[in-house]
Amino acid sequence: AAGVIQSPRHLIKEKRETATLKCYPIPRHDTVYWYQQGPGQDPQFLISFYEKMQSDKGSIPDRFSAQQFSDYHSELNMSSLELGDSALYFCASSFKTKGADTQYFGPGTRLTVL
Amino acid sequence: QKEVEQNSGPLSVPEGAIASLNCTYSDRGSQSFFWYRQYSGKSPELIMSIYSNGDKEDGRFTAQLNKASQYVSLLIRDSQPSDSATYLCAVNLGNTGGFKTIFGAGTRLFVKA
Protein backbone atom coordinates (compact mmCIF):
# COMPACT_ATOMS: atom_id res chain seq x y z
CA ALA A 1 0.00 0.00 0.00
CA ALA A 2 1.17 3.51 -0.79
CA GLY A 3 2.50 5.48 2.15
CA VAL A 4 3.28 9.09 2.93
CA ILE A 5 6.30 10.31 1.00
CA GLN A 6 8.62 13.00 2.27
CA SER A 7 11.50 14.64 0.53
CA PRO A 8 14.30 15.16 0.98
CA ARG A 9 15.10 12.53 3.58
CA HIS A 10 18.15 14.40 4.77
CA LEU A 11 19.00 18.08 4.51
CA ILE A 12 21.98 20.03 5.72
CA LYS A 13 21.79 23.83 5.83
CA GLU A 14 23.76 26.71 7.25
CA LYS A 15 22.38 29.19 9.77
CA ARG A 16 20.16 31.87 8.24
CA GLU A 17 19.53 29.78 5.10
CA THR A 18 16.12 28.62 3.97
CA ALA A 19 14.77 25.10 3.57
CA THR A 20 11.73 23.59 1.91
CA LEU A 21 10.38 20.21 2.99
CA LYS A 22 7.84 18.37 0.87
CA CYS A 23 5.14 15.91 1.81
CA TYR A 24 3.02 13.74 -0.47
CA PRO A 25 0.08 12.22 1.44
CA ILE A 26 -1.38 8.78 0.95
CA PRO A 27 -3.56 8.87 -2.20
CA ARG A 28 -7.08 10.20 -1.46
CA HIS A 29 -6.06 11.54 1.94
CA ASP A 30 -7.17 15.15 2.30
CA THR A 31 -5.48 16.24 5.52
CA VAL A 32 -1.81 16.81 6.18
CA TYR A 33 -0.09 17.42 9.50
CA TRP A 34 3.46 18.59 10.19
CA TYR A 35 5.44 17.71 13.30
CA GLN A 36 8.89 18.59 14.62
CA GLN A 37 10.73 16.08 16.80
CA GLY A 38 13.94 17.06 18.55
CA PRO A 39 16.34 14.44 19.95
CA GLY A 40 14.73 12.51 22.78
CA GLN A 41 11.51 14.51 22.52
CA ASP A 42 7.96 13.71 21.49
CA PRO A 43 6.63 14.99 18.17
CA GLN A 44 5.48 18.61 18.47
CA PHE A 45 2.50 19.56 16.33
CA LEU A 46 3.30 22.43 13.97
CA ILE A 47 0.38 22.90 11.60
CA SER A 48 -2.34 21.01 9.73
CA PHE A 49 -4.23 21.48 6.46
CA TYR A 50 -7.58 20.12 5.40
CA GLU A 51 -8.72 20.43 1.79
CA LYS A 52 -5.97 22.93 1.07
CA MET A 53 -6.92 25.26 3.93
CA GLN A 54 -5.03 25.64 7.20
CA SER A 55 -7.07 23.79 9.81
CA ASP A 56 -5.02 24.29 12.96
CA LYS A 57 -1.75 25.70 14.15
CA GLY A 58 0.55 24.62 16.92
CA SER A 59 4.00 25.70 18.00
CA ILE A 60 5.14 26.78 14.57
CA PRO A 61 7.65 29.67 14.55
CA ASP A 62 6.79 32.75 12.52
CA ARG A 63 9.86 31.97 10.39
CA PHE A 64 8.06 28.87 9.12
CA SER A 65 5.18 28.77 6.69
CA ALA A 66 3.35 25.96 5.00
CA GLN A 67 0.68 25.31 2.46
CA GLN A 68 -1.24 22.50 0.86
CA PHE A 69 -1.57 22.45 -2.90
CA SER A 70 -4.36 21.40 -5.25
CA ASP A 71 -2.89 17.89 -5.54
CA TYR A 72 -2.92 17.72 -1.70
CA HIS A 73 0.83 17.67 -1.33
CA SER A 74 2.21 20.07 1.24
CA GLU A 75 5.37 22.08 1.65
CA LEU A 76 6.92 23.43 4.83
CA ASN A 77 9.08 26.48 4.20
CA MET A 78 11.63 27.39 6.83
CA SER A 79 13.56 30.66 6.70
CA SER A 80 16.35 32.22 8.74
CA LEU A 81 17.30 28.79 10.00
CA GLU A 82 18.67 28.51 13.51
CA LEU A 83 20.73 25.78 15.14
CA GLY A 84 17.70 24.85 17.23
CA ASP A 85 15.74 23.99 14.10
CA SER A 86 17.82 20.84 13.71
CA ALA A 87 15.32 18.02 14.17
CA LEU A 88 13.31 15.32 12.48
CA TYR A 89 10.33 16.74 10.62
CA PHE A 90 7.44 14.37 10.09
CA CYS A 91 4.46 14.73 7.87
CA ALA A 92 1.33 12.67 8.47
CA SER A 93 -1.88 12.34 6.49
CA SER A 94 -5.44 11.26 7.15
CA PHE A 95 -8.77 11.03 5.32
CA LYS A 96 -10.92 13.44 7.36
CA THR A 97 -13.75 13.65 4.83
CA LYS A 98 -14.38 9.97 5.38
CA GLY A 99 -14.51 10.65 9.10
CA ALA A 100 -11.23 8.92 9.78
CA ASP A 101 -8.72 10.94 11.75
CA THR A 102 -6.07 8.25 12.13
CA GLN A 103 -2.79 9.76 11.03
CA TYR A 104 -0.20 7.84 9.07
CA PHE A 105 3.33 9.15 9.25
CA GLY A 106 5.93 9.57 6.56
CA PRO A 107 9.56 8.53 7.08
CA GLY A 108 10.59 12.05 8.06
CA THR A 109 13.15 14.59 6.92
CA ARG A 110 16.22 14.97 9.08
CA LEU A 111 17.27 18.62 9.02
CA THR A 112 20.69 19.57 10.30
CA VAL A 113 21.53 23.26 10.67
CA LEU A 114 25.23 24.03 10.97
CA GLN B 1 0.09 20.19 33.55
CA LYS B 2 0.90 18.74 30.17
CA GLU B 3 -2.06 17.98 27.94
CA VAL B 4 -0.98 14.35 27.52
CA GLU B 5 1.11 12.66 30.18
CA GLN B 6 2.94 9.35 30.14
CA ASN B 7 5.53 7.78 32.40
CA SER B 8 8.79 8.16 30.52
CA GLY B 9 10.09 4.86 31.83
CA PRO B 10 12.08 2.97 30.99
CA LEU B 11 9.73 0.07 31.55
CA SER B 12 11.53 -3.24 31.55
CA VAL B 13 9.69 -6.54 31.24
CA PRO B 14 10.90 -10.10 30.55
CA GLU B 15 10.07 -11.78 27.27
CA GLY B 16 6.62 -13.32 27.35
CA ALA B 17 5.31 -10.99 30.07
CA ILE B 18 2.57 -8.38 29.82
CA ALA B 19 3.68 -4.79 29.38
CA SER B 20 1.28 -2.11 30.63
CA LEU B 21 1.58 1.43 29.35
CA ASN B 22 -0.50 4.29 30.72
CA CYS B 23 -1.53 7.73 29.54
CA THR B 24 -3.67 10.51 30.96
CA TYR B 25 -5.02 13.54 29.14
CA SER B 26 -6.47 16.86 30.22
CA ASP B 27 -8.90 17.82 27.43
CA ARG B 28 -12.31 16.37 28.38
CA GLY B 29 -13.62 17.03 24.88
CA SER B 30 -11.13 14.71 23.21
CA GLN B 31 -12.72 11.90 21.25
CA SER B 32 -9.87 10.15 19.44
CA PHE B 33 -6.95 8.38 21.03
CA PHE B 34 -4.02 6.61 19.48
CA TRP B 35 -1.02 4.54 20.41
CA TYR B 36 2.05 4.71 18.21
CA ARG B 37 5.30 2.79 18.39
CA GLN B 38 8.51 4.55 17.47
CA TYR B 39 11.94 3.06 17.01
CA SER B 40 14.89 5.41 17.39
CA GLY B 41 15.27 7.66 14.36
CA LYS B 42 12.17 6.23 12.67
CA SER B 43 8.69 7.59 12.20
CA PRO B 44 5.80 6.75 14.55
CA GLU B 45 3.93 3.62 13.52
CA LEU B 46 0.26 3.29 14.40
CA ILE B 47 -0.56 0.40 16.71
CA MET B 48 -4.11 1.15 17.74
CA SER B 49 -6.82 3.77 17.66
CA ILE B 50 -9.68 3.86 20.18
CA TYR B 51 -12.73 6.10 20.33
CA SER B 52 -15.16 4.48 22.80
CA ASN B 53 -14.93 3.60 26.46
CA GLY B 54 -13.83 0.05 27.11
CA ASP B 55 -11.34 -2.33 25.59
CA LYS B 56 -10.24 -2.81 22.01
CA GLU B 57 -8.11 -5.79 21.10
CA ASP B 58 -5.89 -6.35 18.08
CA GLY B 59 -3.65 -9.38 18.24
CA ARG B 60 -1.29 -9.06 21.21
CA PHE B 61 -2.35 -5.46 21.82
CA THR B 62 -5.29 -4.22 23.90
CA ALA B 63 -6.15 -0.55 24.27
CA GLN B 64 -8.34 0.58 27.13
CA LEU B 65 -10.15 3.91 27.33
CA ASN B 66 -11.89 5.50 30.30
CA LYS B 67 -13.13 8.97 29.38
CA ALA B 68 -14.52 9.68 32.85
CA SER B 69 -11.05 9.20 34.31
CA GLN B 70 -9.36 10.69 31.22
CA TYR B 71 -7.17 7.65 31.00
CA VAL B 72 -6.04 5.44 28.14
CA SER B 73 -3.75 2.45 28.38
CA LEU B 74 -2.06 -0.12 26.17
CA LEU B 75 -1.41 -3.71 27.16
CA ILE B 76 1.08 -5.80 25.21
CA ARG B 77 0.73 -9.52 25.83
CA ASP B 78 3.51 -12.05 25.24
CA SER B 79 6.04 -9.24 24.93
CA GLN B 80 8.84 -9.84 22.44
CA PRO B 81 12.31 -8.23 22.25
CA SER B 82 11.17 -6.66 18.97
CA ASP B 83 8.55 -4.74 20.98
CA SER B 84 11.38 -2.74 22.56
CA ALA B 85 10.68 0.82 21.44
CA THR B 86 9.15 4.09 22.60
CA TYR B 87 5.36 4.04 22.79
CA LEU B 88 3.62 7.33 22.17
CA CYS B 89 0.12 8.14 23.34
CA ALA B 90 -1.61 10.68 21.07
CA VAL B 91 -4.85 12.58 21.58
CA ASN B 92 -6.84 14.60 19.05
CA LEU B 93 -8.03 17.71 20.89
CA GLY B 94 -11.82 17.91 20.95
CA ASN B 95 -12.13 21.64 20.41
CA THR B 96 -10.30 21.65 17.08
CA GLY B 97 -12.36 19.16 15.12
CA GLY B 98 -9.55 16.68 15.43
CA PHE B 99 -7.05 18.70 13.43
CA LYS B 100 -4.60 19.14 16.30
CA THR B 101 -2.91 16.15 17.88
CA ILE B 102 -0.92 16.24 21.07
CA PHE B 103 1.58 13.52 21.83
CA GLY B 104 2.77 12.38 25.21
CA ALA B 105 6.48 12.26 25.90
CA GLY B 106 6.50 8.53 25.27
CA THR B 107 7.32 5.49 27.40
CA ARG B 108 10.46 3.57 26.59
CA LEU B 109 9.87 -0.17 26.77
CA PHE B 110 12.63 -2.76 27.04
CA VAL B 111 11.76 -6.42 26.63
CA LYS B 112 14.53 -8.63 27.94
CA ALA B 113 15.16 -11.94 26.15
Q: Which of A105-109, B30-34, B48-52 has the highest mean pLDDT?
A: A105-109
SS3 A62: coil
Q: What is the C-alpha separation between B35 and B78, in angstroms, rounded? A: 18
Mean pLDDT on B18-47? 93
pLDDT of residue B95: 63
Question: Per-residue confidence at B7, pLDDT binned at 50, 70, 90?
Answer: confident
Per-residue pLDDT tens over the stretch A53-67: 998 899 899 999 999
Q: Are B81 and B111 in contact (CB under 8 A)?
A: yes
Residue among A44, A56, A104 minimizing CB distance to B99: A56
Residue among A41, A48, A107 minimizing CB distance to B43: A107
Q: What is the C-alpha separation between A15 and A13, in angstroms, rounded? A: 7
CB within 8 A of A40, min separation 6: which ones? Answer: none
* Binary contact (B46, A103; C-beta < 8 A): yes
* Binary contact (B34, A103; C-beta < 8 A): yes
**B19: pLDDT strictly greater than 70:** yes
